[in-house]
Amino acid sequence: MSIYLDYNASAPIDPRVVDLMMDTYRNNIGNADSRTHDFGNNARIIVENARKQVAGLLSVPSEDVFFTSGATESNNIVIQGLREYAEKTGKKHIVTTKIEHKAVLETAKHMERMGFKVDFVSPVQSGRIQTEDVLSLVDDDTLLVSVIHVNNETGSIQPVSEIGCDLEKRKVLFHVDATQSCGKLVEELQNLNYNMLSFSSHKLYGPQGIGALVLKRKNYTLPPVKPIMFGGQQEHGISPGTIPVALVAGFGKACELALSEYKNDECNNLKVRDMLINMLNQSGLQYKINGEIENCIPSTLNVQLEGVSSEALMLSGKEYCGISNGSACTSNSYSPSYVLVAMGMSEDDIDQSIRLSWGRNVDVEGLRNNFEKLLEVAKELV
């Protein structure tokens, strides 16, 4: 059986989360906003308990957590939802980076079309954005700075702590897309200065289709983000529509587990990374890691296997390992990864690059055997 090595696209749901969700689906009917019966009240209790669990992982008050359908929605709300404030204040400048997920990148481009000025900061060759390159662009007209915490393709950790410290002093709104770091870089996130933060449950072993937007209150006031969709008053109108109770319960459980297990997960992930690197070293293949390993999360490797087409390897090796080349959201198009392009890599080098990502409950022995076989396939493709 093929081993799944695409956790950054979507991590397998934790069985303990599934159990809780099944129980919730079976035993809790009703709408968390129904006030006329206990079915609704009980659903509301589940939702508010999950909100506390999500807030606990981030060490924020639970009133600052808003459930959304995931990071794509959260990112859209933050960026598009600031339009009214921008019109009022005349601040129409956004600073972001070239290595954001499309959910930020495309939304920022949309804002550009709506008359905003957007600066897209390039990373250096290591895949890291330089703090100064972001901060030097910030001026009195800057509405928002939005920076990804961990890039989904390379696993590279961005200097959001340094950026956040400076922006806090300058009172500039700061949004962090923490989709790939939430549940992993727990302490950094708990101590980070930001105003808005987005993430999805399915990257931290929760269900797909649910996520959160954290809007940090300052002096009891929310950041000036307005709804971009209209309907009911759920989530204070920020994300209207019936709250999916079982998804929310599963998400809460996943956050609770992440808080208690992230150190253990990190330790296991490092062991897997060491094993994969050892195997690459012994394979006889020429390879290069894209990104600075010291600045990457220990559950992602983006590697270039010299002379091996990644498309051919993914196809010929798919019975052994499920891997990707570039963000999963764009893997049905053959344009080279824009993240690796932004890092200055040539198209040939990008064509030979694959992303491996793993995490909790990975079958290490199965992985060892199958990765060995994948490397054999790679050698035949050189």
Catalytic residues: 329
Taking CB under 6 A as the binding criterion, the range among 69-77, 91-99, 138-146, 253-261 that sits at the site for ligand PMP is 69-77
Give me 259's structure tokens.
Answer: 């808080």
- Among positive and negative, which fits the CA dihedral 34, 37, 40, 42? positive
Task: Decide: is 153 part of the binding site for ligand PMP (CB under 6 A).
Answer: no
Q: Between residues 152 and 154, which has the closer beta carbon with respect to ligand PMP?
A: 152
Q: Between residues 107 and 353, which has the closer beta carbon with respect to ligand PMP?
A: 107
Q: Quote the Cα angle for 8-318-99, to 5°.
A: 30
Q: Between residues 9 and 303, which has the closer beta carbon with respect to ligand PMP?
A: 9
Task: Decide: is 337 part of the binding site for ligand PMP (CB under 6 A).
Answer: no
Amino acid at 240: P
Crossing angle for the helix pair 38-58 and 245-283, to the nearest 10 degrees = 30
Task: Decide: is 179 part of the binding site for ligand PMP (CB under 6 A).
Answer: yes
Closest separation in Å from C-beta 180 to ligand PMP: 5
Nearest to residue 325, comparing CAs of 8, 1, 3, 2?
8
Closest separation in Å from C-beta 299 to ligand PMP: 13
Within 8 A by CB and 6+ apart from 242, the residues are 31, 32, 33, 232, 234
Q: Between residues 180 and 299, which has the closer beta carbon with respect to ligand PMP?
A: 180
Taking CB under 6 A as the binding criterion, the range among 112-120, 174-182, 258-266, 288-296 that sits at the site for ligand PMP is 174-182
Closest separation in Å from C-beta 102 to ligand PMP: 8
Cα–Cα distance for residue pair 138/167, rounded to 1 Å:
9
Place of tokens 């709804």: 227
Within 8 A by CB and 6+ apart from 51, the residues are 62, 65, 67, 248, 252
Taking CB under 6 A as the binding criterion, the range among 176-184, 275-283, 292-300, 354-362 that sits at the site for ligand PMP is 176-184
Task: Decide: is 76 part of the binding site for ligand PMP (CB under 6 A).
Answer: no
Task: Decide: is 200 part of the binding site for ligand PMP (CB under 6 A).
Answer: yes
Helix, strand, coil percent content, the chain, rounded in steps of 5: 45, 15, 40
Closest separation in Å from C-beta 155 to ligand PMP: 11
Within 8 A by CB and 6+ apart from 359, the residues are 7, 11, 205, 265, 269, 299
- Which of 58, 103, 173, 303 touches ligand PMP by CB under 6 A? 103
- Which of 97, 142, 146, 152 touches ligand PMP by CB under 6 A? 152
- Which of 24, 53, 72, 154 touches ligand PMP by CB under 6 A? 72
- Among positive and negative, which fits the CA dihedral 236, 259, 294, 6? negative
In 10 A of CB 288, how many CB atoms?
13
Taking CB under 6 A as the binding criterion, the range among 115-123, 172-180, 213-221, 249-257 that sits at the site for ligand PMP is 172-180
Q: Between residues 8 and 370, which has the closer beta carbon with respect to ligand PMP?
A: 8
Nearest to residue 346, comparing CAs of 337, 358, 355, 354?
337
Closest separation in Å from C-beta 279 to ligand PMP: 26
Site for ligand PMP in 209-248 (CB under 6 A): 211
Closest separation in Å from C-beta 144 to ligand PMP: 16
Taking the alpha carbons at both ends of the chain, their separation in whole angstroms is 25
Draw the binding track, 317-336, toward ligand PMP (x: CB under 6 A; -: no contact).
------------x-------
Within 8 A by CB and 6+ apart from 49, the residues are 249, 252
Q: Which residue ranges make up the site for ligand PMP (CB under 6 A)?
A: 70-72, 101, 103, 148, 152, 177, 179-180, 200, 211, 329
